[in-house]
Amino acid sequence: MVVDNISNLITSLKNASTAGKDYLNVPATKMSMSILNVLKENNFIADFSKKDKEAKQIKVVLRYEDGEAAITDVKRISKNSRRVYRSNKEIKNVQRGYGMAVISTPNGVLSGSIAKEQKVGGELLFEIW
C-alpha cells in the first residue's frame, strides 16, 4: 500500500477550507513542513506550528478574506506513479496569476515564481489557487 502524504495534505487543506474550519491537524513530515512554509509565505494559510520536536501533528491555521477561503482548489500534478519535472523556462502561471505552483527543487520546496527567479527547475508537486 502506497501512501501519498502530499496528496493527503493538500486534500485536507482544501476540504477544511471548503468546510469553513478554523484549523486542522496534519501528520508531521519534513516535506509537509516545507510545503506549509511556502503556502504561508504566499498567504494561502495563516500559520502553522508543531508543538514540540517530537510532536507527530502539525496544527495548520487556515486563512480567510471577507469570509472567503484563501484556498479554493488544488491540483496534484506529480504523483507516485508519474513524476512530472519542469525546467525554469517551462514553469507557467497558475489561474492567470491568482494561484501558484509548488515545486521541489535542489534549493528546497519553492513557489513557481521564486523557482523562476532563482532559475531552477524541479518536480512540479501541485498547483493551488
CATH number reported for the structural domain that contains residue 115 in this entry? 3.30.1490.10
pLDDT tens-digit readout, 29-62: 999 999 999 999 999 999 999 977 788 999 999 9
Query: 60 lies in which domain range?
Result: 5-128
| Total number of domains in the chain | 1
Residue among 121, 107, 112, 126 at smallest CA distance from 4? 126
pLDDT tens-digit readout, 80-101: 999 999 999 999 999 988 999 9
**What DSSP string runs through 84-96?**
-EE-GGG---SGG
